[in-house]
Chains A and B, each alone.
Chain A
Amino acid sequence: MALDRITLSTFRNHRESRLDGSAHFNLLIGANGAGKTNLLEALSLFAPGRGLRRARLPDMAGMNGNGGFSISAALNPGDGGEAVILGTGTEPVRPSRRIVQVNGADTSAISLGEWLSIGWLTPAMDGLFTDSAGARRRYMDRMALGIDPGHARFANRYEAALRERNRLLSDDREPEAPWLDAVEMQLSEAGAALAQGRERLIALISAVLDRLPDQPFARPTLHYVPGGPSDQQMLATELARNRRRDRAAQRTLIGPHRDELEVTMAGKGVPAAHSSTGEQKAMLLAITLAHAELSSDGRPSLLLLDEVAAHLDPVRRAALFERLRQGSGQIWLTGTELAPFSEIDGEAAIWRVSAGELERLS
């Protein structure tokens, strides 16, 4: 299976934890605060970035350790060849610096992405459809990053240029036109690339979702609503034309920072924000699965699903497990009890987690 022989050393509440004999489905059962999500977080660190909690590295080091932590796993590349040993962690002397090793040799976190792709869904993302538009833009950008690593650069550059323009517009003095021209040139260049990246992402995900039936698993329809022209020249023209209005508002009123992702439930036509909690969860899952399929791109893939079964009714749950069974990616699930997982308990590797200790159940 994708990842096996997983070890955690002084990682959050896990002093020394080891998981062997993983399967396609892997289930972590335990009470709240037992350390199930910590385990998923550890796995999420085999991807570039800050992991599924977006936490700071020093916060991940265990209380009773020496100030550092380490995580390792054997990756089966799926080509029949020898397993690749992945390792990451921090050293006590530099608790903010992430160390990454592949087969014992130091490398960059980015290079982890060459070996496997990891997607996740956590309860923290549950409010996505009712949250601010900004949260949905960040969600789009995170997904776009999985498909095009260059996307982050445009997003950062756009943010920086936007701050410059807003600062110029809110100045007491009338901003100098050539200065605004220069900033808007960069704003439109990064903004067009950013908008096109999001547009492409939503089109790709929609194409995957379109192949699915409306039921029993709730199928979302995604609609990308641009906050400005996605063509560089047109965006530049619009920005220049809106200067007076934007100066009155003291901020930029058009552009991809005003993008919105509209999600409705297919068949019902109801906005996702007005759907039931369970339906929202099902739609989020559908998007997460579609994205995982898109971004795996031939690499072994991992899907970390934290507390997903609880909100779903038995019919949807069965449909979810059936979909996950068909995929090639390795699945890691957590739950407080075994009952919701009865559909898969014959084929899953199951561990009980309590106070950072693991016990293999089956």
Chain B
Amino acid sequence: MASQEIDALSASLSRLPGLGPRSARRAVLWLVKRRETALPQLLEALAAVRDTLVECAICGNVDTQNPCGICADTRRDQRQICVVEDVADLWALDRARLFTGRYHVLGGKLSALDGVRPEDLSIGALLERVQNGGIDEVVLAMNATLEGQTTAHYIAEKMDGMPVRITQLAHGLPVGGELDYLDEGTLAQALRARRPMAG
């Protein structure tokens, strides 16, 4: 029988993505065994996150400073904005350090069924950023799902007439992928999005 405190901790941890009650109990036991070493470290890290983390007022990224490290970085290309659904997508893109511009986090995707409307996302703020000028290109990096693509088309239409280039991530053949193993839908998409080769 576990104490009330341990139960409460297990219950909180069990709600973390990918955990669940069984893994949460295992994590709690592990922490209890290391309450002199690992537990203080974890407490400190949690407190630091609670006290310092803020949402960037410009792009919606989560960081310890506002504007966030990416928006404040003057070496980044100020004329490019990459629009993503969630912070996780921003981090995924930035981990690879391939995109040198700045970001804009929408905070979700349009879904009539789930009741997510344009005003629930930071689309207005994005349009404002573009209208304020100084932006050459907006990269729409939405997921290839129905809602993701609906959101991308919606934003593209809203920006119609603004003096920016609107681009979208390519869909199709993955790098290192073999045609033989691809499903028809992906192959068809790759074929539609084919491009001329220099040479």
Taking beta carbons and an 8 Å cutoff, which residues of A are in contact with B? 148-150, 153, 157, 160-161, 163-165, 167-168, 171, 176, 178-179, 181-183, 185-186
Contact = CB atoms under 8 A, between A and B. Distances in A.
A185 B150 CA distance: 8
Contact of B157 (A148, A160, A163, A182): A182
Contacts of B188: 150
In the A-B complex, the 8 residue pairs with the smallest Cβ-Cβ separation, listed nearest first, are A150-B184, A182-B153, A167-B112, A178-B157, A182-B154, A182-B150, A168-B112, A153-B185
B113 interface: yes
A170 to B, nearest CB: 9
Given A171-B112, A178-B157, A182-B157, A164 B150 contact: yes
A150 B118 contact: no
Contacts of A149: 183-184
Contacts, number: 53
A148 B184 CA distance: 8
B72 interface: no
A179 B184 contact: no
B132 to A, nearest CB: 21
A164 B154 contact: no
29 contacts: A148-B184, A150-B184, A150-B185, A150-B188, A157-B146, A160-B146, A161-B146, A161-B150, A164-B111, A164-B147, A164-B150, A165-B112, A167-B112, A167-B113, A171-B112, A176-B118, A178-B154, A178-B158, A179-B110, A179-B118, A179-B150, A181-B153, A181-B154, A182-B150, A182-B151, A182-B157, A183-B112, A186-B146, A186-B149
A183 B185 CA distance: 19
Nearest to A149: B184
Given A149-B184, A150-B185, A183-B150, A164 B112 contact: yes
A181 to B, nearest CB: 6
A112 B165 CA distance: 46
A166 to B, nearest CB: 8
Given A164-B111, A178-B157, A186 B183 contact: no
Contact of A186 (B150, B158, B184): B150
A164 B153 contact: no
Interface string B142-179: 00001101111110011000000000000000000000
Contacts of B150: 161, 164, 179, 182-183, 186
Contact of B183 (A150, A160, A171): A150
A150 B146 CA distance: 16
A276 B110 CA distance: 51
Given A179-B154, A182-B150, A186-B149, A164 B184 contact: no
A182 B183 contact: no
A168 B154 CA distance: 14
A181 B112 contact: no
A150 B153 CA distance: 24
B112 A182 contact: no
Contacts of B149: 182, 186
Contacts of A179: 110, 112, 118, 150, 154
B161 to A, nearest CB: 12
Contacts of A160: 146
Interface string B104-129: 00000011110000100000000000
Contacts of B185: 150, 153
